[in-house]
Structure 1
């Protein structure tokens, strides 16, 4: 599996395992979670994507139980987590409304809770989960720098930020923001033309893509011609249609890291099929044309 350097000291596997649904599985036992991780590792997938809010603030503890049961596992992984969404569930059930909090106190408390729940002394990458309209960059930036200085966080980035949000936060930081995790798939193509990817490419920052299969909507028949093309290409290359859809993202020169989320062991075992797919420029545009529903201008 190809690896991507986010910093000179930190590299991620090109495909990332997303754990946002891990708490929805009928089996959240340490043994079952470990089986998912081991399946990823067998393919060279070492990067696990978490967030404090996943599973109503339970997903990190589910991962932590698996890591506690298999102490040697943590050293084989890079762990990503996120903070700043406060929803009135779980540990934040007293909140009156869902909101964002990028204050230094909240970020620090969130990281401490994540470390405790996952049973680790550091996270490899911390992301601010959503742009906060009330963010004070002169408070948020130094708080993130401080977490890196403390060793509790190896690197920081953002998620769902537009270029101007990214630049605002970066302007108050000593450390570089190393990624932006944004929605990208054949059903979410805006980033390819609205400047989000171009902004990152200009700065040689590798983006992460959440929901790279459109939350499964790619395969519900809403775009039958696109689905037929994905299946045709997959049949020609000995993979299924999901591998082709992910390969479409991998083909882009921005070095996109797709974050793949599923609880199915059989599907996890095929994640790396995407890197086997050969996709020339015309095939990429064929899928793009079918995705946007028109010929490019």
Structure 2
């Protein structure tokens, strides 16, 4: 599988495995370890986490599996996110739901993630959600410290719009740091990041896109949904034409965009992974891409 260069220190696999549902899988460490090995064998080496996933449990679940094959750490890239605080936080002083982008919280979150994941550094750290109270200077100070300590190799954001990105990016650049990733919801069903210019804005600054919910959380396959039915009426014949699954066509649709879009898959079924990989071998025509696009819009382009 092709690798995507994030910065001079880190490259990601074109397809990324997400672990936000790892608690629900109810796997033993041995089962999860086997799955991680199967992913790596297929070239999927980038693993996406967040401190809050599974009410703060999923990183630890992954860390226990990683302990069984310590050599795997040199074959994978670990991404995690911080900045959201939930009432279920292990910190007993927290009683509400809010965002926290303070230097102390970011550093504490990273230290806990490293411990839970059983690693000594993160290949990328993302700020999980923008906050109305975000002080870009404080975030920059936290990142400078984490980089200098060797705990973080690259930095990014998640769910940031253009103005939120610009606010933080301008401050970081002053300290010769760079946002390398923005994790956004992108799928044939969810076009917001394309329509509002967010992806183009990231492309301009060579910021790579991690696409969360590339299958719209399964909504694409709910044919009772009028929008999904329109999209799948185009996708299904293309799947037959190219001898792949509908999942594969969706992957091909994302891959055709000139910005680098790396889908984050949440499945724990290796056959779904294989279907996604097959889709990357398909090159849709421009017309086929636009047919899916306009089906999602619900109207023709001007």
User: Is TM-score (shorter-chain normalized) higher than 0.5?
Assistant: yes
Alpha-carbon distance between aligned partners in 2 of 1:269 and 1:256, rounded to the nearest angstrom: 18
Question: 1:247–1:274: 8 Å Cα contact kept in structure 2?
Answer: yes
Pairing 1:268-287 to 2, within 5 Å after superposition: 268-287=273-292
Q: Deviations over 1:240-278 (max 9, x none)?
A: 001111211110000111111112233233331121112
Q: C-alpha displacement at 1:112, in angstroms? A: 0.3
More off after superposition, 121-130 vs 31-40:
31-40
User: Normalized against structure 1, the TM-score is what?
Assistant: 0.96
CA RMSD of aligned residues (A): 1.2
Residue number in structure 2 paired with 1:196: 198
Alpha-carbon distance between aligned partners in 1 of 2:52 and 2:265, rounded to the nearest angstrom: 18
Question: 2:87–2:95: 8 Å Cα contact kept in structure 1?
Answer: yes
Residue number in structure 2 paired with 1:256: 261
Q: C-alpha displacement at 1:91, in angstroms? A: 1.2
Q: C-alpha displacement at 1:190, in angstroms? A: 1.2
Q: C-alpha displacement at 1:236, in angstroms? A: 1.3
Q: Deviations over 1:6-28 (max 9, x none)?
A: 1122111111111111111132x
Question: 2:231–2:295: 8 Å Cα contact kept in structure 1?
Answer: yes
Residue number in structure 2 paired with 1:4: 4
Determine which structure has greater relative contact order: mean sequence separation of CA pairs < 8 Å that are 6+ residues apart, divided by chain length.
1
Question: 2:180–2:206: 8 Å Cα contact kept in structure 1?
Answer: no
Alpha-carbon distance between aligned partners in 2 of 1:285 and 1:270, rounded to the nearest angstrom: 22
Q: Deviations over 1:122-179 (max 9, x none)?
A: 0100000000111111111111121111100101100000111111112222210101
Q: C-alpha displacement at 1:45, in angstroms? A: 1.0
Residue number in structure 2 paired with 1:177: 179
Alpha-carbon distance between aligned partners in 2 of 1:232 and 1:145, rounded to the nearest angstrom: 50
What SS class does the counterpart of residue 73 from structure 1 fall into?
Answer: helix
Q: C-alpha displacement at 1:210, in angstroms? A: 0.6
More off after superposition, 256-265 vs 282-291:
256-265
Residue number in structure 2 paired with 1:101: 100
Pairing 1:1-297 to 2, within 5 Å after superposition: 1-27=1-27, 29-92=28-91, 95-173=94-172, 174=175, 175-221=177-223, 222=225, 223-297=228-302
Question: 1:50–1:82: 8 Å Cα contact kept in structure 2?
Answer: yes
Q: C-alpha displacement at 1:226, in angstroms? A: 1.6
Question: 1:86–1:92: 8 Å Cα contact kept in structure 2?
Answer: no
Alpha-carbon distance between aligned partners in 1 of 2:210 and 2:194, rounded to the nearest angstrom: 13
Question: 2:66–2:72: 8 Å Cα contact kept in structure 1?
Answer: yes
Q: C-alpha displacement at 1:90, in angstroms? A: 4.3
Alpha-carbon distance between aligned partners in 2 of 1:85 and 1:176, rounded to the nearest angstrom: 22
What SS class does the counterpart of residue 269 from structure 1 fall into?
Answer: helix
Unaligned runs of 5+ in 2: none
Question: 1:122–1:152: 8 Å Cα contact kept in structure 2?
Answer: yes
Question: 1:81–1:127: 8 Å Cα contact kept in structure 2?
Answer: yes
Q: Deviations over 1:98-124 (max 9, x none)?
A: 100000000000000000001100010
